[in-house]
Amino acid sequence: MIPVIEAVAFASVQDMAALVLVVSAAGYLAWQGWRVVRKKSAGCGGCGSCASTQPRESQPFVEAATIKQIAPKP
């Protein structure tokens, strides 16, 4: 096993500050992973790079209809 804990020497404030940031980043990633699994942010907008302007209630860009639907009702 890699002796991570023993090797991390708290020699300075820099070391401690870096470690706090690393733990925060790891915690954030774990939280994000949990959200994806729990479907909280798995919807549109979850990845943050889509083209939809209405992230959570996206509509299809083009409505499709069958002939029956678009034909005028008698």
Residue 19 makes CB contacts below 8 A (sequence gap 6+) with 8
In the chain, DSSP finds a helix count (H) and a strand count (E) of 3, 0
In angstroms, give the least distance from the CB of 72 to another protein: 14
Instruction: Check binding of 71 to another protein (CB under 8 A).
Output: no
Best CA proximity match to 45, nearest among 56, 37, 32, 31: 56
Residue 18 contacts another protein per CB under 8 A: yes
Binding site for another protein (CB under 8 A): 2-4, 6-9, 12-15, 17-19, 21-22, 25-26, 28-29, 32-33, 36-37, 39, 41-53, 58, 60-67, 70
